């Protein structure tokens, strides 16, 4: 009994000491003062009143979903008991806290998902194809970038043309681009599933957020992951921005997620893949097929790109 008590006492002491110093490295590396670490049970909030590019990081010990200034973001590894993984600390610091040298003229390759013999996913009625929606939004993104004086190309020009994923990544390699932005539409057997998600590769040695997605690599895309993460975060933030009310119901925030998609693995440039909504959800379907809403979605994607670079 005595041994049990002393063990218990020691464990309590460690727990308290651990609590006191938990997330000290994460906070310091992200430029947040010790006093601004709030740990309540398993919920951690790191908040700063300093003028940093991000103000608040919230997450749950043992889990991957986090919030960065209110925008959903999946950590590369579950948050530890004492600190975030070194992969996540480095990624957040390089992607979101390191100043970037802004480029006056960007060169962006916009990739309308699918096309030609591959029409992508279909609406519940089967009459609307993903490739038509992705092309309409990609053309808008291209037009708006060009109107701002940037270079913008598409990986396919029309609905008829079939492009393999290899052809798309090779085009990205040949054009000397600043970023590759792939646009897709989601589908699910569950008609309630809805919302916007933006993908990057997982960090090297980390799992994707889809089921059965073990670590892979190193891959070409790993060399560009901090700017890819930066781009994904600002595009997701712009698409979900509530400070500029959209002309459609506010979409659900499914977050910045991670997957080993071919275009993210093999494009030698910062690369993201946006799932702009679910074909199989009535609310999302109404948004992504409406011409006015498509223009607004494109405007927000462009805003995210410009903000990131
Ligand atoms: Zn797709």
What is the residue-wise DSSP string for 161-215?
A: ----HHHHHHHHHHTT-SEEEEEEEE--SSTT---EEEEEPPPTT---SSSS---
pTM: 0.93
- 181 assigned to some structural domain: yes
Region 253-276 average pLDDT: 98
Within this chain, do residues 45 and 123 fall inside the same structural domain, yes or no? no
Provide the CATH number for the domain around residue 294: 3.40.630.40
Does 215 map to a domain? yes
CA 55 to ligand 1 centroid distance, Å: 34
Is 91 part of any domain?
no
Residues 55, 151: one domain? no
How confident is the model over 199-211, as a mean pLDDT? Answer: 97
50 CA to middle of ligand 1, Å? 40
**Residues 164, 257 within the same domain:** yes
How many CA atoms does the CB half-sphere of 302 hold within 13 Å? 22
Q: Are residues 61 and 112 in the same domain?
A: no
How many whole angstroms from 218 Cα to the centroid of ligand 1? 25
Q: Are residues 123 and 65 in the same domain?
A: no
Residues, the chain, total? Answer: 309
Cis status of the peptide bond prior to 218, with omega within 30 of 0: yes
| The last residue of a domain, from among 82, 115, 140 | 82
For the residues 31-53, what does the mean pLDDT come to? 89
Residues 263 and 193 in one domain: yes
pLDDT of residue 300: 98
Strands 196-200, 179-186: parallel, antiparallel or unpaired by DSSP?
A: unpaired
pLDDT of 20: 62
If asked whether residues 170 and 250 sit together in one domain, one would say yes
Q: Given 82, 98, 125, which residue is the final one in a domain? A: 82
Residue 175 CA to ligand 1 centre (angstroms): 23
Q: Is residue 131 included in any domain, yes or no?
A: yes
**CA dist., res. 263 & res. 167, Å (int):** 10
Q: Is the pLDDT of residue 18 over 60?
A: no
Asked if the structure places residue 93 within a domain, the reply is no
* pLDDT reading at 213 higher than 80: yes
Looking at 66, 82, 98, the residue that finishes a domain is 82
> What gap in Å lies between CA 271 and CA 29, rounded to an integer?
25
Is the same domain home to 152 and 288? yes
pLDDT over 70 (residue 4): no
Give the separation between CA 233 and CA 272, rounded to whole angstroms. Answer: 10
pLDDT digits (tens, 9 = 90+) for 57-79: 999 999 999 999 999 999 999 99
Ligand 1 centre distance from Cα of residue 174 (Å) = 23
Q: Are 20 and 63 contained in the same domain?
A: yes
Range of the domain at 54: 2-82
Measured in Å, residue 122 CA sits from the centre of ligand 1 at: 10
Average pLDDT score, the chain:
93
Q: Is the pLDDT of residue 295 over 90?
A: yes
- Contact predicate 67/46, CB 8 Å: no
Ligand 1 centre distance from Cα of residue 69 (Å):
28
Span from the CA of 115 to the centroid of ligand 1 (angstroms): 10
> Total structural domains in the chain?
2
- Report the relative pairing of strands 107-112 and 179-186 from DSSP bridges: parallel
63 and 111 fall within a common domain = no
DSSP type of residue 12: H
Tell me: do 64 and 195 sit in the same domain.
no
- Whether 98 maps to a domain, the answer reads no
Domain match, 131 and 36 both? no
Determine contact, residues 198/186, Cβ cutoff 8 Å.
Answer: no
Distance 121 CA to ligand 1 centre (A): 7
**Residue 129 pLDDT more than 70?**
yes
> Please, which contacts does 9-15 make with residues 24 or more away whose CB atoms are closer than 8 Å?
none
In this structure, is residue 96 part of a structural domain? no
């Amino acid at each position: 009994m005595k041994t049990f008590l002393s063990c218990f006492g020691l464990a309590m002491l460690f727990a308290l000491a651990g609590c006191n110093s938990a997330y000290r490295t994460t906070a310091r590396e992200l430029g947040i003062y010790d006093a601004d670490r709030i740990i309540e049970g398993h919920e951690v909030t790191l908040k700063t009143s300093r003028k940093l590019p991000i103000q608040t990081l919230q997450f749950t010990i043992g889990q991957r979903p986090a919030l960065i200034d209110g925008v959903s973001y999946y950590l590369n590894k579950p948050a530890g008991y004492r600190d975030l993984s070194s992969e996540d600390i480095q990624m957040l610091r390089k992607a979101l806290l390191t100043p970037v040298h802004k480029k006056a003229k960007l060169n962006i390759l916009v990739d309308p998902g699918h096309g030609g013999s591959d029409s992508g996913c279909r609406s519940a009625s089967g009459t609307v194809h993903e490739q038509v929606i992705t092309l309409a939004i990609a053309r808008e993104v291209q037009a708006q970038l060009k109107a701002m004086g940037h270079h913008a190309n598409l990986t396919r020009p029309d609905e008829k043309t079939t492009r393999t994923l290899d052809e798309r990544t090779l085009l990205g390699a040949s054009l000397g681009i600043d970023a590759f932005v792939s646009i897709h539409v989601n589908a699910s057997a569950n008609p309630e599933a809805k919302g916007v998600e933006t993908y990057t590769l997982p960090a090297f040695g980390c799992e994707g957020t889809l089921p059965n997605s073990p670590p892979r690599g190193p891959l070409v895309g790993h060399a560009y992951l901090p700017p890819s993460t930066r781009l994904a975060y600002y595009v997701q933030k712009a698409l979900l921005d509530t400070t500029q009310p959209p002309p459609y119901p506010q979409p659900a925030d499914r977050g910045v997620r991670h997957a080993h998609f071919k275009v993210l693995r093999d494009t030698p440039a910062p690369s993201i893949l946006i799932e702009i909504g679910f074909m199989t959800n009535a609310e999302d379907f109404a948004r992504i097929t409406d011409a006015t809403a498509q223009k607004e979605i494109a405007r927000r994607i462009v805003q995210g790109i410009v903000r990131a670079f």
